[in-house]
Amino acid sequence: MIQYILECIAFQLVFLFIYDFFLKRETFFQWNRVYLLGTHVLSLILPWIKIEAFKTETQAFSGYSEFLWNMGQSEVTINPEADGHFTISWQEGIFWAGVLLAAIWFGFKLWRLYKLRSVGRVSYFKDFTQILVPKSHIAFSFFKSIFLGEKIVGREYDSVVSHELVHIRQWHTLDLLFFEVMRIVSWFNPLVYVYQQRITELHEFIADAHVSKSERSTHYEMLLSQMFEVQHISFVNPFFKSSLIKKRIVMLQKSKSKRVRQLKYLVLVPLVLGMLFYTSCESEPDSKENLNSTSLKGKTVPYSTIEQVPIFPGCENAEDKRACFNEKIQLHISKNFNYPKEALKQGLEGRVSVIFTIASDGNIVDIKKRGPHPLLEAEVERIISRLPQMEPGKFEGKAVNVPYSIPVVFKLDGTSAKGIKSKDEGQSDIVSFAEVDEIPVFSGCEDAEDKRACFNEKIMRHISKYFRYPEEAQQKGIEGHVSTLFTISKNGSIENIELRGPDKLLEDEVERILKRLPTMTPGKNNGEVVSVAYSIPVNFKLQ
């Protein structure tokens, strides 16, 4: 979210720079109005847009060993019944406190308008409602109401009303209220205030241009001779505002800009394309290479092969630190979850697969998640980001980065569900690949010194050998990760294939490959033959 905010502010800064140095002095007032409103909205949308053609990754296919997506861990099921407390981070607290104060200030300004109306004399006309305020020189409009001081008389009155009617007919109040809402939502962004100031002065130029066509001399005289009071309310169109009078006089004296100068607006095309290129070329942390990116200093070693696992606070003296680590992770998730209220309303449930890294300094980084809905994914990310700092894992005596993953299941009925359901409903002895005593033996690995490494290598070779990118998926430009989870049963056959990917075409291709896996020697746990759950994500990338 912080990156999104920074990108929005950066885009707004560029758009305002273009406006101030290239467009502000032109008399294309309506075009400038569209520019200011449009570019602000664009700055909010552009960070979310990813153009596939601009992406830099061109890998055709990549598969990842099971220990990089260690889905065999015992899953955690979280249910709405356990939601008994409300939690909020200090950053969220500051944000919402700012929103509340900005909303209160907005309400105060509305109250000031109400007070002015209550002390004024209200008269209704065909095109507007006039509120005449006693002992005052104020002049501004708000929607179809024109607030006028009773000291404004004669030709001055007619000119002011004509000016304010332009604001009313062109709904300038809506522009200002839009930026007022933006000031509440993004109170921390100084550029919102700049945008509102620019649109305010532009409204005055527009109204002056309309009125001066018929009352040019009168308009000049008023602007030169009057420096009246005004109510400082940011979402109204004040007629007499001293900081604007000089600019308005200068703009009234300007000759109409030549139409050829409208070509300046074409600068938006390469500018927006450049922004789209920037947002689309951001690297996605999906691959093994990205786990070893600059955000992670040092070597990365899989959790299943690490010599000394990361030590969770409280596991320092545990006899089996690996088992203690797994248990503490599950307890943390169960303790800190908060079933999203909106997810409850929509009846959302399902499994969110999450992988994260315990960095060489013990901090949690590089959180990735995939689930049935963004609401559930966001909740899992919130929980994982609250994990405490740990003593890092070690390999060859040095602190290293350790990837770890665990599936989290959201269930509305309050019941627990196993990640793998056997065809034999009575069979419950399914053990994850990472925890089984004796892993299944892939054909050709019988005499291997490290059967686990041999198994992973054989799986990778099998997928690479039989992989075929579906032609229809290529034509449609479909790519992405397909997460797979399957069981090597007690008789060594492949069962219970579960898939989740961006499209059924890719899922079907992965299922076809997995069904061609040979029968293996089944795994054993505590001396007994068991079914073993194994997972591997397969990444489809178009060249």
- CATH, residue 310: 3.30.2420.10
Residues 427, 392 within the same domain:
no
Domain annotation covers residue 368 = yes
Last residue of a domain, one of 366, 397, 417: 417
Domain annotation covers residue 65 = no
Last residue of a domain, one of 417, 442, 464: 417
Last residue of a domain, one of 265, 295, 327: 265
Q: What is the pLDDT of residue 103?
A: 93
Residues 36, 168 within the same domain:
yes
- For helices 172-185 and 29-45, the axis angle rounded to 10 degrees is 30
The pTM for the full model equals 0.46
What residues make up the domain containing 468?
A: 420-543
Q: What is the pLDDT of residue 84?
A: 47
The DSSP result for 194-215, as a single string, is HHHHHHHHHHHHHHHHHHHHHH
- For helices 190-225 and 172-185, the axis angle rounded to 10 degrees is 140
Read off the tokens for 94.
Answer: 């500051």
> DSSP 3-state assignment of 328?
helix
CA atoms within 13 A on the CB side of 342: 7
Domain annotation covers residue 230 = yes
Residue 308 DSSP label? B
Domain annotation covers residue 239 = yes
Residues 95, 201 within the same domain:
yes
Residues 213, 100 within the same domain:
yes
Domain annotation covers residue 47 = no
Q: What is the pLDDT of residue 226?
A: 47
Q: What is the pLDDT of residue 242?
A: 52
CA 150 – CA 116 distance, rounded (Å): 13
Kindly calculate the radius of gyration of the chain based on its CA atoms and give it in whole angstroms.
32
Q: Comparing C-alpha atoms, which of 371, 451, 367, 352 is closest to residue 404?
A: 367
Residues 6+ apart with CB under 8 A from 97: none
Q: Around Cβ 152, how many Cβ atoms within 10 Å?
A: 23
Q: What is the pLDDT of residue 261?
A: 77
Q: What is the pLDDT of residue 407?
A: 82
Read off the tokens for 502.
Answer: 């961006």
Q: Are 211 and 121 in contact (CB under 8 A)?
A: no
Residues 392, 512 within the same domain:
no
Residues 497, 520 within the same domain:
yes
The list of the chain residues with pLDDT below 70 reads 1, 50-89, 153-155, 212-246, 248-255, 280-298, 411-429, 543
Read off the tokens for 356.
Answer: 């994260």
Domain annotation covers residue 25 = no
Which pairing describes strands 129-133 and 76-78: parallel, antiparallel, or unpaired? unpaired
Q: Are 9 and 46 in contact (CB under 8 A)?
A: no
Q: What is the pLDDT of residue 184?
A: 93
CA 334 – CA 383 distance, rounded (Å): 9
CA 540 – CA 513 distance, rounded (Å): 14
Q: Which residue is listed with tokens 């006309």?
A: 125
Backbone angles phi, psi at 361, to 5 degrees: -100, 5
Q: Are 380 and 75 in contact (CB under 8 A)?
A: no
> DSSP 3-state assignment of 469?
coil
Q: What is the pLDDT of residue 55?
A: 52
Residues 455, 348 within the same domain:
no
Q: What is the pLDDT of residue 290?
A: 41
Residue 24 DSSP label? T
Q: Around Cβ 78, how many Cβ atoms within 10 Å?
A: 24
Residues 409, 503 within the same domain:
no
Residues 108, 231 within the same domain:
yes
CA 103 – CA 122 distance, rounded (Å): 28
Residues 497, 460 within the same domain:
yes
> pLDDT tens across 185-225, in order?
999 999 999 998 889 888 888 887 777 665 555 554 555 44
Domain annotation covers residue 536 = yes
Domain annotation covers residue 72 = no
- Domains in the chain: how many in total? 3
Residues 137, 225 within the same domain:
yes
Backbone angles phi, psi at 338, to 5 degrees: -145, 100
Residues 319, 397 within the same domain:
yes
Burial code of 137-148, b = ≥16 C-beta within 10 A, e = fewer?
A: bbbbbbebbbbb
Q: Comparing C-alpha atoms, which of 71, 77, 76 is closest to residue 533?
A: 71
